[in-house]
Amino acid sequence: MMTQVQINEKLNGVFRDIFDVPELVVGDTTTANDVEGWDSLAHVDLIVAVESAFNVRFTTKEVKALANVGDFIRLIERRVK
């Protein structure tokens, strides 16, 4: 079982990796507008990388509804718990 902190840390790791910014920090309220390079292309990369990092699968509808990092975290929580 992962704690919220662990999920948060791991997710930040994925973001840093995808956007290639080692000091990047994302949290609940971070949206695509806040992160340089977070376009629809990177969004697809993110989903695939998150699924693989947490070993989960999201439905198409779920990933289409993602508006910010908080949504991402809650989606992961639902899957890993």
Partner 1 sequence: MLKPDRSELDYFKLVKQARRLTPGGRRLKLALLGDVSTQHLVPLLRALFASNGVDAEIYEAGFDTIELEALDPASGLYAFLPDVVVILQSIGKLKSTFYEFPGERGNFVVTKATQIEEVWKAIRARTGAPIVQSTFVLPYERPFGNYGFAIADTIHGAASELNREISVRARNNPGVLVNDVDYLAAWVGRSHFIDEKLWSLSKSLCALGFLPDVAQNIVDIALASQGRAVKCVVLDLDNTLWGGVVGDDGIDGIELGDRDETGAFRALQLFVRELGRRGILLAVCSKNTDSVARKVFQEHPGMVLREEHIAAFVANWEDKATNIRRIRDKLNIGFDTMVFLDDNPFERNLVRQLLPEVIVPELPEDPQLYVRAITELNLFEAASHSALDLQRGALYKEQEEREAESLRFGSLDEYLKSLETNARVARFEPRDLPRIAQLIQRSNQFNLTTRRHSEAECEAMLNDEANYFPFSITVRDRFGDFGLINVVILRRQGGMLEVDTFIMSCRVLQRGVEQLAMNKIFEQARRVGCTRVLGRYIPTAKNEMVRDFYERFGFGRIDAPEADGALFGLDVVEYVPREIFIREVSTDK
Q: Which stretches of the chain bind partner 1, using CB under 8 A?
A: 17-18, 20, 40-41, 43-45, 47-49, 58-60, 63-64
Give CA angle at 34 (54, 46), nearest 5°: 25
Least distance CB 20 / partner 1 (angstroms): 6
Report the residue number, 25 or 44, with the smaller CB distance to partner 1. 44
Check if the beta carbon of residue 80 is closer than 8 Å to that of residue 56.
yes
Residue among 33 and 60 whose Cβ is closer to partner 1? 60
Q: Are 21 and 45 in contact (CB under 8 A)?
A: no
- Closer to partner 1 by CB, 25 or 65: give it: 65
Determine contact, residues 54/79, Cβ cutoff 8 Å: yes
